[in-house]
Amino acid sequence: MQFQGVIPILVTPFDSDESVDLGSIAMLVNFMRELQVEGVTILGVLGEANRLTDAERAEIISSAVEHARGLPIIVGTSASGTKAVIELNRMASSLGASAVMITPHAEPTPSEERIFQHFADISKDTKLPIILQDHPASTGVHMSVDLIVKLIEQLPNIVGLKLEAVPTAPKLIQIRKQCARHINIMTGLGGLYGIFDLRAGSDGFNTGFAFPEVLQAMVSASKNNDWSTALKIYQRFSPMLVLEQQPGVAIRKRLLLARGVISHASVRKPGASLNPSLSDEIDYLIETLLPEQDITQRICIPNA
């Protein structure tokens, strides 16, 4: 698979009773396929994977793969133990996943050597492509450039890097300089630093922003070296990028509900539900940034 362009991270939809909503998973995957994204990622941080049982994980993977119709499905398989990750990788592989995304896990005594060995053992066991995720905000692990380069150069089935260690742009540039092997690097963080990441050489966005069309337009402009247009798009939608990047998944679920691609905006406990005061702000931003557009369909991105 090609780790580039725009690969949205999907939420895990729940019914009002917090049971997994497989119907909404189908709607989400179908919608993203119609937007012609390069793939989707499920069961990441945004997917509330740490609040799911293994049986629920299997149901979600199966549903996503069933409705993908060739769209690559990346499955988050991070866990606190090496054996647990290996077992989750085997599950993902048996159910038809295209690749897996894995973060390191924090230990009481930090050790880059143990992180390397963790990934080396995982790499030996799976034939699936691995996306290495560098996201200290969720893992508590700060991987050095040297460690990331070592992982990429010595573990050939690491085929992509999702870089979310701020500031992302300088780290991306440094990895490109030091790494003898080229792999695609995408950034996330809701596209919050999107223009800077693209200018630093990011291959696109692997993130859960509720309007992938905005990110697609920015990537397209950057590929055409049209930085003026890319910046105008970024500036126009920065209020939505900032709003979405607040902690938790409730805001994004509320936006996806407004887009008609999930049936409920439920967050599984103990995750926080949407603050009622934010609902009006979300509607205000939609009306202001996308006047008279039907956001349940592909939206038209103005250049200014």
pLDDT tens readout for residues 25-76: 999 999 999 999 999 999 998 899 999 999 999 999 999 999 999 999 999 9
Tokens 């390191």 sit at which residue?
Answer: 104
pLDDT tens readout for residues 182-217: 999 999 999 999 999 999 999 999 999 999 999 999
| Structural domain spans, the chain | 5-212
**Tokens coding 288:** 């202001």
In DSSP terms, which residues pair with 167 in a beta bridge? none
What pLDDT score does 247 carry? 87
Mean per-residue pLDDT over the chain, rounded: 96
The candidate with the shortest Cα–Cα distance to 245, out of 178, 200, 295, 193, is 193
pLDDT beyond 80 at 1: no
* Superfamily classification of domain 5-212: Aldolase class I (3.20.20.70)
What DSSP assignment string belongs to 258-278?
A: HTTS-S-----TTSPPPPHHH
What pLDDT score does 49 carry? 94
pTM listed for this prediction? 0.96
What pLDDT score does 57 carry? 97
